[in-house]
Amino acid sequence: MTVEQLAAAVIDACEAAGVDHMLTGAFATSLYGVPRSTSDVDVVVDAAAGEPIQRVVARLAPLVIFDPQVQFDTLTWGRRHVGSTRSDPPLLVELFALFDDAFVQHQFQRRRRLVLPSLGRAVWFPRPEDLVVQKLRWGRAKDLDDARDVLAVQGLERIDLGAIRSWCLLHGTTDRLDAVLAAIPAE
């Protein structure tokens, strides 16, 4: 199984279960920035009280074994369900439960449906500005590189830098934004 096949299966499971969702992580970064390889599928799901996630997990059971222990994001304390494929080599699926964080809610409400060429289908994605804010918020080296690449590819003249800066002020990540902006190669 390829990671693209897994992503399609996760999207199909969300749609069949009637669960609103949004593909993020490396797939979103590759859509808006510089394509990069990945071995996981990250999906935000609207999962009030956890029951919708269980419907998605049940639909994926033939392909994915989910850890029964829910994990928590140490930055926001959001819940995520992590599973690995039954195939070899194993690929990861992370289902992030939508929760009551102002930015997470904002990002999900603004998602848009775009065709992902590698899947040959329309998929829900965050907007590029929101992806950049999330990457800056996580702040790992890989995330900062992704934020830089999205800003560089999208172009500072076409992206709403003011909105990004507003969220960075709220999250205390303005220094990360400034460093990422300074790292964008001059044309």
84 DSSP β-pair partners = 65, 92
Q: Provide the token pair at 97.
A: 């439960």
28 touches 11 (CB < 8 A): no
| The pLDDT value given to residue 80 | 84
| pLDDT averaged over every residue in the chain | 91
In the block, tokens 């998929």 appear at 123
> Residue 21's closest CA among 49, 50, 52, 51?
52
| The pLDDT value given to residue 48 | 66
Mean pLDDT across 134-160: 95
> For 30-60, what is each residue's pLDDT tens digit?
999 998 889 999 999 997 655 788 899 999 9
- How far separated are the first and last CA of the chain, in Å rounded? 39
Reply yes or no on whether the pLDDT at 187 is more than 80. no
| The pLDDT value given to residue 157 | 94
> For 124-138, what is each residue's pLDDT tens digit?
999 999 999 999 999
Q: Provide the token pair at 186.
A: 């001059």
Mean pLDDT across 150-164: 96
| The pLDDT value given to residue 77 | 59
